[in-house]
Structure 1
C-alpha cells in the first residue's frame, strides 16, 4: 500500500485520508499531518477502514508518540494538541448541522476547558487481576489507566482506593462518578457471574 497523508479527523476519532481512486479511508490511531502506510481491516466499495501499519512521518500536532497499544476508544484524540482537538470538534458540529441537518448555524467557536487533561468526573473502567484500566480500541486488551490522564485528581484517588478493594472479588467493570459539590464519589460495580 502507498503512503498516505492524513488530512482530517472523523467524529469517531479516526484519521481521514483519500486513496488515489477517491475512496475515503478511516485510519485508527492516525492524526492530521501523519504520513502512514495502512493495514486494511475492511475494504468496501466506497470506503476503507484501516489501522496504521507504519507511521512514516509523525504529525507536528502530535503531543504523544504513537503507540498502538494505547489507542483507547474512550479518548481517541488524547495524543493530539488541544487547539487542533477544539478545531476538529467545531468542524464536526458544523458539518453535522450544515451537511446532515441542512441548517446554516451562527457559530462562535468552542470554549476551551481550563485544563485540557483531568477533565472527567466520571469514568468507566474494566478490571483484570485486581487492576483497573481502559480497553485498547477494538480489543479487550487492558491498558493501565495512568496512560490516559483524563480523570479529575479526586476521581483518580477514588479509583486507586477502589482498585485496592476489588482485588480477588471477581470484578469485571466499574463506573465511578465524583462530585466536587459534596466531595463524595459513587461507584457501580459489575462482578463476574457464577
Structure 2
C-alpha cells in the first residue's frame, strides 16, 4: 500500500505556478491539491515560496524568489513600495494588464457570491492618470518627526521615499530624506484641491482625561479643500471623505447621469414629484446629478452627512435637498418613498438589512457603488432576492497601482410593487 504523502508544513519552501488572482490582491497557486495564496505574485509567475500558514484546505506563502516572472510583471515604479511601504502593491504590474486582471477578480467574486443571478457584461473604465492621481493621503510620523507610509502589514513607518500615487506638489517637501519634520507619533492628513492649494492636518493623541481621543490641528492651508466636479464646487474638510483619484468623482457623477438619462423615461413615480435618496452621501457629491436628472421639482434626501463634512455647500442651494446627519439604518423609516436611490456604502457593503429596507420602499432604479468586490457581489445577490435586476455593471479602476477598484451597478425593480 503506497505511503500517504505528508501534508505541507509551515516553514517549508515550494515552487508554485501562479494561475489566477484572489480578492485582496494575492496570487493563487496549488500545492498537492491545496490552494496557496501568495501576496505579490501574478498569474504567469513561477515563484519559490516559504509557507507561513497551512490549513486543511489552503495555505499562505511568502515569495522567496521569482523563478520565472510573469509577462505582466514590470520593475516596481513606486520608490516607497520598493523600500517596503504597503501603498502600491500592484506597482510592479504592467499598468495595461491591471484593469483586465481586476475584471477577472470581479467576475470570479460574482460567480461565487451571486451564483445563478442574471448579470450583464462587465464594462471597464480605466481611470487616468495611472501615477500621481491621489487627492489626499494619510501619513504616519516616526519618533524623529519624519513622515512616511506604513510598511506592508506593519506599523513601521518608511520615510524618505515618494509614492508613485502622490502628485509631486502634494508631498515633495515631506517625502524626501531631508523632509519637513512634524510632531513625533502624530498622523498627517494631506489634501490637495482643484485650486492647487495644499491642506495639512496634524492629528495627535490627546492627553489622559480628555474627552476626545485625538486632537486635530490645521498646520497648513485652510483645512477646507475646494473640489470642482462637472461644474459644481464642493467645500470638503481635509479630514472628511473624498474620492481618492482626482478624476473619480467626475467619472462616477457622469456615469450616474448617463444611466439616469437612459432610464428616466420609463420611471414610474410614487407621487407628484420625483424623490431620490443619496445614501452614505458624505458632502452631497451626487446631489447635483440627481437633481439635474430628475428635474427642478425633485426632492433629495442625502443621508449620513459626516460630522467632518458639515460645511456650507453654496452650489447645492439650488436643489431641494435635506441632509440627514444620522445612520442610513435610522434614517430610512422616516424618509419619503424614493423613485431613485444612489448608495455608496463603505467597504463592508450595504448588507441585507439596508438593501431590504431600500427595496421595501420600492424605488424604480437603484445605483449601487461598491469598493470591495466580495461585499459588492454579496449585495448583488441580495438585490436579486429583493426583486431587482442588474442592468449595468461597470468596473472603474480608480486606484491604479493597487489591488483596489470600484464597481457601479444599475438595478431596476422587476416585481410588482404591492407594498
Match of 2:127 among 99, 113, 128: 113
* Match of residue 164 from structure 1: 180
The number of residue pairs the alignment matches comes to 189
1:14–1:76 contact (8 Å) kept in structure 2: no
CA RMSD of aligned residues (A): 2.8
* Match of residue 137 from structure 1: 152
What secondary structure sits across from 2:124 in the alignment?
A: coil
Return 5+ residue gaps in structure 1 as ranges: none
* Match of residue 36 from structure 1: 47
144-153 or 114-123, which deviates more: 144-153
Deviations 1:31-65 (A, max 9, x none): 22221111111111111111112222222212215
Match of 1:3 among 15, 31, 50: 15
Shift in CA distance, 12/73, structure 1 to aligned 2, threshold 3 Å? farther
Deviations 1:123-168 (A, max 9, x none): 122222232222221223333463531113332347559x5151xx
Equivalent-residue separation in structure 2 for 1:16 and 1:71 (angstroms): 22
* Match of residue 13 from structure 1: 25
1:6–1:30 contact (8 Å) kept in structure 2: yes
Deviations 1:58-91 (A, max 9, x none): 2221221599964543322111011221012112
Question: Is 1:190 the equivalent of 2:206?
Answer: no
2:162–2:175 contact (8 Å) kept in structure 1: no
Question: Is 1:58 the equivalent of 2:74?
Answer: no
Provide TM-score, normalisation by structure 2.
0.41
1:178–1:185 contact (8 Å) kept in structure 2: yes
Equivalent-residue separation in structure 2 for 1:105 and 1:70 (angstroms): 42
What secondary structure sits across from 1:2 in the alignment?
A: strand
Shift in CA distance, 148/91, structure 1 to aligned 2, threshold 3 Å? same
Structure showing greater Rg: 2
Shift in CA distance, 127/53, structure 1 to aligned 2, threshold 3 Å? same
Provide TM-score, normalisation by structure 1.
0.81
Equivalent-residue separation in structure 2 for 1:71 and 1:17 (angstroms): 24
Equivalent-residue separation in structure 2 for 1:98 and 1:121 (angstroms): 34
* Match of residue 96 from structure 2: 83
How far is 1:22 from its partner?
Answer: 1.6
